[in-house]
Structure 1
């Protein structure tokens, strides 16, 4: 398909109405739980500010190659991974590309199943801080245990999916784009408000030191680089799925290079903000900054209990986290929705109903925290990197690097040079394989 050629299929396909709306939707997908609880922990675990060096290197590299590639792949084919992979292999007279496209769709659906449960938890905690039940609970661990136990939050799980369904039924422009335009600016504003309050706490300085002071010796540890790669990779939602789908809703006059750059910048800013809120707050009350996922549901609620006006700031915090998680869930669910809609030629409402109902039914088995962790680990270790690898091979090798370059450059005044060709065809493809292997060997790196 040439740069000026219009898609011949699905002419009525919905699309983003503006570059800003597209970027905010991509930021909404990228800024999620990994930024909020994992990034601050990784920074402290692997050398403080020293960790930022490999992290920034990898996130720029991945944004320059993989993120731009997935945007452009979707825009070129005007469809999701199943259709994109099918069209790519048809250029080589192969008919089985659609089968490979099922892999990233399954990956997105699997993560969405788990995310929906967690969004339900966020809703429950938000209501708990509004009513005061989360503040007066004597043991935050026990309070969370009741919610995260088997079938402990079904009603909240349902509410989360209903809320997201309403947005998704409204379509790309009136649903996904509009909600991201509201939720993502609100996320940053609310997090800044909480950050200012946290900086006023006695002992917060120690948390800042934990984040900022570099331990340069950590750069000699291969794990620092491996986990920095994992953090950057998963933070940008590279999976051969969601960003391809969002790219397929993109108009051809939108600058993909600029869009990818802004997504990287604001995704990284979101991670930094999370670190500046969570770690100083945890240190101020001598709690454990390395508590992992329970950080959001046990440690942070304990902080707000001890903080003056903690109930108010707890509400603000969980509203902002809820916004970040909902925007990520919308992207994850949009992948199988687009697949059902395109493959079976169903209308959007029916497609949303089928996918969301399936997500709820599978999610019932993930209501237990242990089962949820196993599901998310399996999908993130095995399926997501595999999907990203297949997508990169399809676009940069099967479609071809020259056509890939041309598609990325469409809508931009800038041109990609030889460095991009090498980075995309060899470095990025290798890194997707490395993320898969390292994740298997280390039990997950992102």
Structure 2
């Protein structure tokens, strides 16, 4: 067992904890993926199902992460070691968390750099009066420019690590609070502008009025799965990124209320992003179901048609940059804390060592769009970013969440009673005891459905052979985790 840290840094305020945790959850997926999923899967009907799964799946897993962090007073690097019964193998699970955080930043820093790059392009007026073909060409040219992509990625890394260098209160909390405040102000301004555009009414109706007939045409199962998956991935749960902030939290407030507040802020950003994008798309006759190209091709085309588009586009990409950078800062804090826990390094030493390592690890993603574009690891047209995202989104997040659920509910893990005591410590909403059976038996099954369905969707188009091979690998991966989780505590002599 590892001893708790007596001088562990703490948040200066409850607001700081909520905004930093929300900043970690709020990312590109809220602004990019959520609106286009709404566009593809029936608007408001999709949102209703998404909100249901957010409550029954996302919030419980977040509470588990917060509880493990606050009880252990460590990052994921030592949290399982601290709380696991002697003789069990739960500590192996920290590998998922540590690898997940590094892998996420190996491509997320590059995508965050795209946001910075597009902000500069909007300010320069590059997209003013541009044709759709010119916008597409500009995006392709950016991806092909190795030096430009590398510079933007390095700038993101340096900014993130510089903020973390000054500590939890003076760096991460202080900067994130201002950044999140600016993010919400920008969103309100952009939302008001979007909903009052001429012709935006159709988009608002699409967004707010459920169309169950269209949902039936798409396939209810497809809509439910996509809503379930998005509600799960949007909160950045499963790799210990929330755990670290639980370890910086005092015991004054119960964790259920805090997790609900963080989730509400994350959801508000996703919903407001839809109000920014979907009504504007309808107003200018652009399809809001453009898929992953929505942000970098569809949206610039939108602002190119809009009066004052240069100004509104610049505001939009500032907002996107803040959303992406808040996640970068939060995950960098996790990575720094890993080294501080494992090697007892100072924060300064950890930053100085981690920064060049992360910059170097981010370069393969950059090169994957140009120099190494011939390497297509997941089939024709795929990139190194796709591989890294697949490992994180389709493996680390669902399987990590699966482990947190088991660890907090099983007798050979940390256990239900210990979890409940920690979650309910402090003022505020208590964790409902009546759902013990659900979180113990049903929630793990839902998570495994998401995991295996993700593999099926990814590899089914490649043919039966690759699909069977990858599904066998997925089963083996789950089997290994269940083997580690089934280890029995050592009997005391």
- Fold conserved between structures, TM > 0.5: yes
Partner of 2:332: 333
Q: CA deviation at 1:414?
A: 4.2
Q: Which blocks of at least 5 consecutive residues in structure 1 are unaligned?
A: 2-6
Partners of 2:253 and 2:428 within 8 A in 1: no
Deviates more, 1:219-228 or 1:68-77: 219-228
C-alpha distance in 2 between matches for 1:301 and 1:109: 31
Inter-partner Cα distance in structure 1 for 2:428 and 2:203 = 43
Contact kept in structure 2, 1:82 and 1:97, CA below 8 Å: no
Q: Find 2:154's aligned residue among 135, 151, 158.
A: 158
2:17 to 22, 31, 34: 22
Query: Does 2:97 align with 1:97?
Result: no
* CA deviation map 1:250-283 (0-9, x unaligned): 1122331221111121111111100011112222
Give secondary structure in 2 for the equivalent of 1:399: coil
Alignment coverage as a number of residue pairs: 437
- Offset of 1:136 from its aligned partner? 6.2
1:394 corresponds to 2:407: yes
Match of 1:434 in 2: 449
The alpha-carbon deviation at position 21 of structure 1 amounts to 0.7
1:211 to 207, 225, 233: 207
Equivalence map 1:404-423=2 (5 Å): 404-423=419-438
Over the aligned positions, Cα root-mean-square deviation in angstroms equals: 2.0
TM (normalized to structure 2)? 0.84
2:82 is equivalent to residue 87 of structure 1: yes
- Structure 2 match to 1:279: 278
Other-structure match for 1:323: 322
What residue in structure 1 maps to residue 198 of structure 2? 202
**How far off its partner does 1:62 sit?**
2.5
Q: Which residue of 1 aligns with 2:70?
A: 75
CA apart distance, 1:301: 1.2
- Preserved CA contact (<8 Å) 2:58 2:231: no
Larger Rg: 2
Name which of structure 1's ranges 370-379 and 134-143 shifts more when overlaid on structure 2: 134-143
Is contact 1:82–1:99 with CA below 8 Å preserved after alignment? no
Q: Which residue of 2 aligns with 1:249?
A: 248
Unaligned ranges ≥5, structure 2: 370-382, 460-493
5 Å-filtered alignment, 1:100-115, equals 100-115=93-108
Deviations for 1:22-45, whole angstroms, at most 9, x for unmatched residues?
111111111111111111122232
1:224 alignment counterpart? 223
Q: Residue 304 of structure 2 aligns with which residue?
A: 305
- Cα drift, residue 200 of structure 1: 2.9
More deviation in 132-141 or 65-74? Answer: 132-141
3-state SS of paired residue (2:242): helix
Distance in 1 between residues matched to 2:165 and 2:129, nearest whole Å:
38
Q: Is the 8 A contact 1:88 1:394 kept in 2?
A: no
Which residue does the alignment assign to 1:314? 313
User: Cα 1:293–1:112, aligned 2, differ >3 Å: closer, same or farther?
Assistant: same
Once the two structures are superposed, the pairs formed by residues 251-270 of structure 1 within 5 Å of their partners are: 251-270=250-269
